[in-house]
Amino acid sequence: MSLNWGIIGAGKIAERQLVTAIAQASGQRLVAVMKRDLAQARGFAASHGAQNAYDSSEALLADAAVQAVYVATPPHLHAAQTIQSAQAGKHVLCEKPLALNSSQAQQMIDACHANGVQLMVCYYQRYNSRHQQIRELLATGVIGQISAVRLNFSDYFPPTPGYWHHNPAISGGGALMDLGVHCLDLLRFLCGEVTEVMAMVETLAADSPVEDTATLLLKLANGAQAVITSHWSTANFEPQQSNGLEICGTLGTIQAAPVQAKDSSGSLRLITETGVQDFSVAPGGQRPHVALLEDFARAIDTGAPSPIPGAEGLAGLRLIEAARQSAKTGRRVVLA
């Protein structure tokens, strides 16, 4: 099992996470990178052992050595570059959010299907070992019937020179698109599908055209209620202060934080009538990105379905769109 990677958008996210993960993943290799500035692309390639550097996605996709691409550009480019990659016969790992909207996401899914390539959404926290432990605990019924879920992923991030995140034409939105999409995916991954959405989505702390404060009330298919808070408007001085989840049931509670650890580290407690069991992970645990890459390569090698297909990214975008509709109308949105 081997896989040769090209990176479209060789920037900070790619350098901090995927380059290291590719190097650590079994049988995987970075062979090409693309940045609009060719000198910067060559510097990136030299620093990370890639053979080739390009200043256009077309040139990278013409490289026969590239088997899969990581699309790490801002969201407004995801759809076009994923479709272009699919047409070139390359498998695609796309950063979140999958696209600017659900319509674009569906076009990406259709293009990958039509061209016989895999599309995987980079929801790396599904591979956090604590989150996988939570799935196992829930499967045993140890906390009984799930009745309430709380997820918070927040920070303080006002408009900042040099960052595109507050430009809706590029980002598609604010805190919901950047942080809330992770919460929505974790909620679905751990507790099942969402059937109804009510929300307040506002801009409170800064002069920005995108939301910086969002609170979602969701009903799950099993009847449980969930609350997701996702803010760019709250000070964050400790990771567990603004990043955590709690799943409550008729027989107990599961608590974990933070939700965004890059090495699975953090607290995980199961609280039941018999006491508290601690499943916390010390720093240096399983790197979710490595496990994600290895799972993706395995699916490509065996022809198995994508571990996190485009439909999962589409589902998250539809929930965000429902939240915005609810906030605009003041009414709950029932999902079809």
Residue 81's pLDDT band (cuts 50, 70, 90): very high
Q: Domain check: are 104 and 253 in the same one?
A: no
Whether 239 shows a pLDDT value over 90: the answer reads no
* Cβ atoms of 75 and 170 closer than 8 Å: yes
The token pair at 326 is 């609810």
3-state secondary structure of 94: strand
* Cβ atoms of 268 and 278 closer than 8 Å: yes
Give the pLDDT mean for 129-153: 98
Choice between 240 and 210, residue whose per-residue pLDDT is larger? 210
- The Cα 164–Cα 184 span in angstroms is 23
Q: What are the φ and ψ backbone dihedral angles of 197, each rounded to 5 degrees? A: -135, 135
Give the pLDDT mean for 95-113: 98
Q: Domain check: are 201 and 234 in the same one?
A: yes
Q: Which residue range is the domain that position 69 belongs to?
A: 3-124+289-309
Residue 132's CATH number: 3.30.360.10
Residue 16's CATH number: 3.40.50.720
Q: Domain check: are 229 and 106 in the same one?
A: no
Whether 128 shows a pLDDT value over 80: the answer reads yes
pLDDT at 242: 83
Average pLDDT, the chain: 97
pLDDT > 70: what percent of the chain? 100
Domain count, the chain: 2
Q: Domain check: are 179 and 191 in the same one?
A: yes
Residue carrying the six token digits 């933070």: 258
pLDDT per residue over 6-42, tens digit each?
Answer: 999 999 999 999 999 999 999 999 999 999 999 999 9
Q: Domain check: are 142 and 67 in the same one?
A: no
Q: Domain check: are 138 and 269 in the same one?
A: yes
pLDDT at 238: 79
**Cα angle value 287/289/292 (rounded, 5°):** 115
| DSSP state string for 40-89 | HHHHHHHHHT-SEEESSHHHHHT-TT--EEEE-S-GGGHHHHHHHHHHTT
Q: Domain check: are 203 and 278 in the same one?
A: yes
Q: Could you tell me which residues come within 8 angstroms of residue 155 by beta carbon, excluding any fewer than 6 positions away?
A: 179, 231, 232, 234, 236, 242
pTM beyond cutoff 0.95: yes
Residue 299's pLDDT band (cuts 50, 70, 90): very high
User: What is the identity of the amino acid at 312?
Assistant: E
Residue 241's pLDDT band (cuts 50, 70, 90): confident
